[in-house]
Amino acid sequence: MNLKLHAALSRRHVAFASAILAACVALPSALAAEGKSQVQTEEAWWIVLAPKEVLRRGIQLSDTPLTTRALDRRALRSSQATLLSAADLPITQSRIDALKGTGAELRTTSRWLNLASVQVTSAELKSIAKLPFVRGMFPVRHSQRLSVIDFAQAEIGGIAGSGAMSDPQLAQIGVDELHARGFHGAGMVVGILDTGFERSHIGFASIEHPLDVIAEWDFVKNDGNTAIQAGDDSSQHWHGSAILGTLASYLPGVLLGSAYEAKFVLAKTEDISSETPIEEDYYVAGMEFIEAHGADIATSSLGYIDWYTPEQLNGVTCVTSRAVNVATSLGMICLTAAGNQGNDSDPSTNHLLAPADALQVISCGAVDITGAATWFTSDGPSADGRVKPEVLACGLGVYSINPDDPAGFVSVSGTSLSTPLVAGAATLILQARPSYSVMSMRSALTSTASDAILNGTFDPMYIRGFGVIDALAAASIDRAVEDLNLDGSVGAADLASLLNSWGACSGLCPADFNGDDVVGAADLAALLNAWS
């Protein structure tokens, strides 16, 4: 949305809100005195609900929309006191019916935050305020779409040397090294929140590694198809498909996604048609959907600012950030784009978009392929002084599938692209180190990133965070170099892997411990010496 339109929308929103917001502060008596100045325009509002009632028998899985995989993931990585809580119970039908009974249109609900979002006139909002289970209300904030900075067609073989066009962007962050050790995301589930997904590209249709989507939901149109459909904006699928391409595509020698053996959960949460404000409630619903399907990792390249000021990016104010805080506490590793708002050399200002300020989210900035920060990458810190963005990956000229051409490719720029590269790396790291918690993943990524290694700390200007990630180093903490499968012991599997690559090295050669470009007797001796 252009800035003028954005400002106009904000003003309209302010006018609508000021007509009733004062009345909403002290509910419901002040509403009666608010008088006749009713605004007929419909607006989206969050309704704060009274605490949920929990049956004496407690909460069981069947009371929730969670899959058993979600429960398993929580058992492995959740930091909550119990596996299930009232936050997992859906908003009851009787409350939904009562909200709708006022004439309001229900947009979505959040079981984590115990909120419902509604599209209402001011008269309907007043009726809602009188419902016995309503505790308050506040406007659903519009988002500022995180557009790509630029994109261009990319030609197969158009880059220097042999190999896939995606090789440099993966090698920069050590993903190639994890690929060489056999980690491609198998057994992992990755959730993506974005604009929609076109999956007919040849990059998603290989016989060896076809794209595997285990669940999808279109929160904008409320249906089970996240692909472009009649009535959608003609670009609705573009952004999400480019993101998916960097993660899931498999075309050896042409384009490789970072985690092409992972399974995916797709949430279409952003309506790009220009007349529709993009709103934060679908994001929250999408995050809950992805968590409920047991995703290990969730990544989003969307950003929300609008009414929020940089001072409010303290990790606990913006609704999307609060939802991400719940997601990370449930053991889901969350990544989000820092934003394309630019940076300055003033460590007291930030240009972040929510939910990059969330407490345990890994916020991703963008460098070029040489590792230099891009002009557009948003700087931190968060309003409460935490390091943001935490890490960096390539976000300038990143190769992906062309969402508009099932056999074409593009190079795309933006923190939207650096984020899924980090997400793919995190997926492989988690495959190698399944016991990593959200906290240990954060610490593994930041402590091994380029600037932390070089300077021993983060960038004091809060542009680079801890630097460009090193996926192999993050996965190799407390692991011997001879432990090729990174499982914590040097044993038969590592020996088999060494023997499998016996002889002269071609390409990456993890078993060439002494670096002489041959896997041979000296490397075998080293492995046997490290046997544990």
- Least separation, in Å, of the C-beta of 522 and Ca ion? 6
Min dist CB 485 to Ca ion, Å, is 4
Task: Write the DSSP symbol of residue 104.
Answer: P
Q: How far is the CB of 199 from Ca ion (least distance, A)?
A: 13
Q: Helix, strand, or coil here: 222? A: coil
* Residues contacting residue 483 through CB under 8 Å, at least 6 positions apart: 489, 490, 494, 530
Q: Which is nearer to Ca ion, 24 or 352 (CB)?
A: 352
- What is the greatest pairwise CA distance in the chain? 89
Of 102 and 485, CB closest to Ca ion: 485
Burial class (CB in 10 A: 0-12, 13-18, 19+), 402: buried
Q: Name which of 105 and 346 has its Cβ closer to Ca ion.
A: 346
Q: Which is nearer to Ca ion, 124 or 279 (CB)?
A: 279
Which alpha helices (H) appear in 377-455, and where do they start and end? 415-432, 438-447, 450-455
Q: Which residue is nearest to Ca ion (CB)?
A: 218
Least gap, CB of 230 to Ca ion (angstroms): 10
Rounded (10°) angle between helices 319-329 and 280-292: 10
As measured in angstroms, the least distance from the Cβ of 434 to Ca ion is 14
Residue nearer to Ca ion on the CB measure, 261 or 483 = 483
The owner of tokens 């943001």 is 388
Q: Give the residue with the Cβ less far from Ca ion, 223 or 405.
A: 223
- Token readout for 55 is 């049956």
| Backbone dihedral region for residue 418 (phi beyond 0: left; psi -120 to 50: alpha; all else: beta) | alpha
Q: How far is the CB of 320 from Ca ion (least distance, A)?
A: 22
**Interface residues with Ca ion (CB under 5 A)?**
218, 221, 223, 225, 229, 344, 346, 349, 379, 483, 485, 487, 494, 512, 514, 516, 518, 523
Cα–Cα distance between 430 and 422 in angstroms, integer? 12
The residue (of 88 and 218) whose beta carbon lies closer to Ca ion is: 218
Instruction: Give the Cα-Cα-Cα angle 29, 21, 40 (nearest 5 degrees).
Output: 100
Give the residue with the Cβ less far from Ca ion, 182 or 371.
Answer: 182
Which is nearer to Ca ion, 508 or 518 (by Cβ)? 518
How far is it, in rounded angstroms, from Cα 165 to Cα 155?
9
Q: Which is nearer to Ca ion, 61 or 518 (CB)?
A: 518
Q: Which residues of 420-443 are buried (b: 16+ CB within 10 A; e: fewer)?
A: bbbbbbbbbbbbbbeebbbeebbe
Nearest CB to Ca ion, comparing residues 35 and 231: 231
In angstroms, the Cα distances linking 53 to 56, 61, 326 are: 9, 16, 20
Q: Are strands 43-49 and 134-139 parallel, antiparallel or unpaired?
A: antiparallel
Q: Per the structure block, which two tokens stand in for 158? A: 């158009």
> End-to-end alpha-carbon separation of the chain, Å?
59
CB of 229 to Ca ion, least distance (A): 5
Tell me how far apart the alpha carbons of residues 337 and 380 are, in angstroms, rounded to a whole number.
12
Nearer to Ca ion, 380 or 414 (CB): 380
Please report, for the chain, how many H helices and E strands are present, in that order. 16, 18
Place of tokens 């009414």: 307
Beta carbon of residue 425, minimum distance to Ca ion (angstroms, whole number): 20
Residues 273, 310: Cα–Cα separation, whole Å: 26
- In the 3-class helix/strand/coil scheme, how is 26-87 assigned residue by residue? CCCHHHHHCCCCCCCCCEEEEEEECCCCCCCCCCCHHHCCCCHHHHHHHHHHCCCCCCCCHH
